[in-house]
Structure 1
Amino acid sequence: MARIVPIVLAVAVWIFAIIDCARTDRSLMPGRLSKGAWMALVIVLPVIGSFIWLWLSWNTKHPDGWGDLGGGPRRQPPRGPVAPDDDPDFLARLDAENRFREWERKQREGEEDGGEVSS
């Protein structure tokens, strides 16, 4: 039984590495190797190729460390406006719209009075 456990574990890691390599996007392939080269490496060198793939692809897919697994540094969420009234661009656009509406209102009042409104 003790001899079978490492073999089953190695086969499981090998199958996982093959599936992970096949499902990984071409833009995320580590080490400037093509997907076909990685597949060949993982298949021809089952244990070593699998562990090399898993190590290098993990570093490529998770450059900030362990991410949500509990270790390594974590990225902070982007610090930006939370609500529309915290966004300076939104407030500037709103202010411009309000000034334009006020100007239009004054123009209409001027036309109703029959006189001209000076700016």
Structure 2
Amino acid sequence: MVRLLLILALVAVVFWVYTVVDCAVQPASRHRGVSKGTWMVIVILLPVVGGILWFVTGRTRKNAAPVRRAPDDDPDFLRTIGSISDQDERIRRLEEELAQLDSDEQAPGAPERPAPHRPDEDEPR
């Protein structure tokens, strides 16, 4: 009977150490329910029960789908904002407009445009 209790105590200590280490090394994004610090307190103060709770409810699977918190993390949303070809077309049009504006300003024989009058420049300081 004593041997059985010693073996069970040893298994409980190994399980407890394993759960403490597992809870500590998991990134905070894989802790479910409460914060990482709270899980650490639960696992340390309730050795066997805390470890069981950690594995049953607190730990998420590695391949679990990530929780999306922002629209730019959602692939469906990203598909709806336009394709690359739309962006390329817009960039091409803007470059053409800028080139046209540059050529209008650089045209030979074109009269220079007067600078806009600013009333605050004429006043003495």
Larger Rg: 2
TM-score normalised to structure 1 length: 0.49
